[in-house]
Copies of this chain bind each other. A is one copy, B any other.
Amino acid sequence: MTSPTEFSLRDVIALLARTPRALDALLRGLPTVWTRRNEGPDSWSPYDIMGHMVLAEREDWIPRTRLILEHGDARPFAPFDRFTQMKEPQLKSLEQLLDEFASLRKESLATLKTLNLQPNDLARSGRHPSLGSVTLSQLLATWAVHDLSHLHQLSRVMSHQYREAVGPWSIYLGVLQCAGHSAQ
């Protein structure tokens, strides 16, 4: 049960198809104490995370997939700014971001289907501006784990708001021991 799992396009799509509904079920209509608070300076609230998910969905996964298929490693990916959503005015409601994410994800998965990726496509390489050579299957695996990473971050950010409220139970709650890791 512990050997690393091989990439499967079917398994990745199954996960990618479910994340928007899971985030929607968790966040829509939730009081702002859970959705608009962060973990302190320069950290993200669930609202910020959803803004990031929308941007990544639009600018990252499918554009990079196309670039690999069309140019291989001849042209590096455009760098993706993980902080764009923090620099823009927050004009949209959380519910609008959830809708937008669900709609963009649906489009992404429809595009992925039309690409009809074969094993030799999945093995093709692209060039990441800082990581260097990466394969299409690694990009698609990262897309899925990126969803999970932000679910992980979001549950930690929400838990943080009740760090004091749980009193002595805090030592038993794993999520409250998590200090956060990298830029997510």
Contacts and interface: CB of A to CB of B under 8 A. Distances in A.
A103 interface: no
A7 B166 CA distance: 9
Interface stretch (A9-17, A83-91, A112-120): A9-17
B183 A132 contact: no
A30 B4 contact: no
Interface residues of A, number: 76
Contacts of A166: 138, 141-142, 145
Interface string A150-181: 01110110110111111111011111111011
A131 B168 contact: yes
What's the number of copies of this chain in the assembled complex? 2
A26 interface: yes
A4 B174 contact: no
A15 B146 CA distance: 23
B5 A168 contact: no
Interface string A66-86: 000000000000000000000
A163 B4 contact: yes
A29 B41 CA distance: 39
B181 A174 contact: yes
